[in-house]
Structure 1
Amino acid sequence: MGKIIAIANQKGGVGKTTTSVNLAASLGVLEKKVLLIDADPQANASSGLGIDVDQVEIGTYQVLEHTANAREAIQKTSSPNVDIMPAHIDLVAIEIELVDKEQREYMLQKALVDLKNEYDYILIDCAPSLGLITLNSLVAADSVIIPIQCEYFALEGLGKLLNTIKSIQKIHNPDLDIEGLLLTMFDSRLRLSNQVVEEVRKHFSSMVFDTIIRRNTRLGEAPSYGESIIAYDATSKGAVNYLNLANEILKKNA
């Protein structure tokens, strides 16, 4: 039985997509079968794995709308053992279209029922909002990874997200677990970065991953080539960080 992990934070620019793409690639290299679901209308996870977003005819939008089944939406990627359910800008419209549907929070969960046995891990790259798409992702997930950037407003909004997770646990998905808080964009030269790490560890001790994702120019370059950091530069700090994270997750779920 596969595990579904949502990567969520309503703040933009915290490293959700970078984490989704590179964690998927790292788990794939470690010989796990992975499906990455792009649940963000910006579709950056799709283009970051080499998918031509303008050519996507069946993707997350059609699956949430139930005009296509999940299997029809899946594409292979050049990353070993990694498939993707791509997104397209039309995903923006789903919030409005689902608004008056019954059980609208469960659309993704229903769509993934048959797929769960076919993958070791299903990762969902969530949009930077707490709207209906993210709600669907959290209802469908077994656990959630929350990336937090090591910058000034790091903890702002985290309380709101944790409250959202609590209410989802209460109403829709009692089994939703927090996989961990992931510190991203860490720069050891900055006092602020070190303070944020200290602060987050102090407040959330056991919930924080040991692995920290460091600032790394190669990580920023890889998506423009439609590649994960593993394919782009396997020796870079970024690649090592994400492989460490993948190993930490595998150990935790062993």
Structure 2
Amino acid sequence: MKQTTIAVLSNSGGAGKSTLVRNLAYELDRSGLQVALLDLDPQHNLDLFCGLDVEIPMIDTIVGMLGEKYDRDWHLVPVPNEKNIHVCRGHLGMAELQNEFVARRGSEHILANKLKKKPLGHDVILIDCPATLGKICENAVVAADYVLIPLILQDKALTGLDGLLNWLKYLSDDLNLQPAPQVLGIVPYAYNEKSQTHRQCMEQLKFVAARARLRMFETIDNSLEIMNANGNGLAIGKFRPVHKTVEQFRNVCQQLLQTIG
């Protein structure tokens, strides 16, 4: 397949971005694809979720990769016990790097230019974005073919969805992105069917998605086992192979592959 870059983006914290990236990577790997994960989030949760507990120098993280004077090949770390998943690790210094971006010419294109100059050989690149819609997220959108939006079911997140979609459109128009990345759709995250609030939010979300002509992907249920899997550095499919959310992540992956071909 042609290499595909997907930015996993949400403008609210706790929406499950890193969890979705980790578990999609696992399912894509199971499908025989090579996957690269780029961790742009200063919280760098992917380190924990991928079982990467050994510290490495900042120059070998995403901060070093995107620094002004860095021109070496990508530093990718293999995920333990996975066949074809590699991570460009995140770092707290990403917050400071974002301030540096403001002063750099064409700062929205730094990541895209890096990927063109030093291309990765993976089938799919998943970009884990921070929750703040600043220069870092702009870089992710410019570099991406597609955007995937995980959304936690609460009123604040639903209100913010319109703002996120408007921001994406404004950015694409302002930078004249040709083509602009396609929004694949929304992945509802941490859903509790027994919660009336969640059920009401789900109905509102379906309405918003239909109005915006966005696909609703498989819903991921709220589960403590997902958190336990993350804490153990494993995808839920490896941590609890028969857990109900394994099939849900697998369905999201299959829906994704059908959409991007």
The normalised TM-score by structure 1 is 0.94
SS at match of 1:87: coil
Residue deviations 1:147-180, cap 9 Å, x none? 1112232312112211110012113323211011
SS at match of 2:164: helix
Give the RMSD, CA atoms, in angstroms: 1.7
Whole-Å separation in 1 of the counterparts to 2:230 and 2:57: 18
Q: Work out whether 1:150 is the aligned partner of 2:157.
A: no
Letter in 1 for 2:78: K
| 8 Å CA contact retained: 1:53, 1:88 | no
Structure 2: segments with no counterpart, 5+ residues:
none
1:3 maps to: 4
Q: Work out whether 1:218 is the aligned partner of 2:225.
A: yes
Letter in 2 for 1:64: L
2:18 maps to: 17
Whole-Å separation in 1 of the counterparts to 2:54 and 2:99: 22
Once the two structures are TM-superposed, the CA of residue 114 in structure 1 deviates from its matched residue by 5.1
Please show how residues 113-152 of structure 1 align to structure 2 within 5 Å. Answer: 113=116, 118-152=121-155
Whole-Å separation in 2 of the counterparts to 1:160 and 1:70: 37
Whole-Å separation in 1 of the counterparts to 2:47 and 2:142: 22
SS at match of 2:87: strand
Whole-Å separation in 2 of the counterparts to 1:193 and 1:7: 22
Q: Work out whether 1:54 is the aligned partner of 2:55.
A: yes
Please show how residues 13-52 of structure 1 align to structure 2 within 5 Å. Answer: 13-52=14-53
Q: Against the structure 1 CA distance between its residues 72 and 210, is the aligned structure 2 distance closer, same or farther, given a 3 Å change threshold?
A: closer
Q: Work out whether 1:72 is the aligned partner of 2:74.
A: yes
SS at match of 1:10: coil
SS at match of 2:22: helix
SS at match of 1:36: strand
SS at match of 1:137: helix
Whole-Å separation in 1 of the counterparts to 2:17 and 2:24: 10
Aligned length: 254
SS at match of 1:13: coil
Whole-Å separation in 2 of the counterparts to 1:152 and 1:203: 12
| 8 Å CA contact retained: 2:38, 2:88 | yes
| 8 Å CA contact retained: 1:43, 1:53 | no
| 8 Å CA contact retained: 1:56, 1:88 | no
Structure 1: segments with no counterpart, 5+ residues:
none
Whole-Å separation in 1 of the counterparts to 2:6 and 2:240: 25
| 8 Å CA contact retained: 1:108, 1:140 | yes
Whole-Å separation in 2 of the counterparts to 1:100 and 1:124: 23
Q: Against the structure 1 CA distance between its residues 42 and 122, is the aligned structure 2 distance closer, same or farther, given a 3 Å change threshold?
A: same
SS at match of 1:194: helix
Please say which of residues 6-15 and 68-77 is displaced more in the overlay.
Answer: 68-77
User: Which of the residues 177, 182, 188 maps onto 2:193?
Assistant: 188
Whole-Å separation in 2 of the counterparts to 1:111 and 1:95: 16
Letter in 2 for 1:217: L
SS at match of 1:154: helix
1:112 maps to: 115
Whole-Å separation in 2 of the counterparts to 1:198 and 1:100: 43
Task: Point out 4+ residue stretches in structure 1 off by more than 4 angstroms.
Answer: 114-117
SS at match of 1:234: coil
Identity %: 25
Once the two structures are TM-superposed, the CA of residue 69 in structure 1 deviates from its matched residue by 4.6
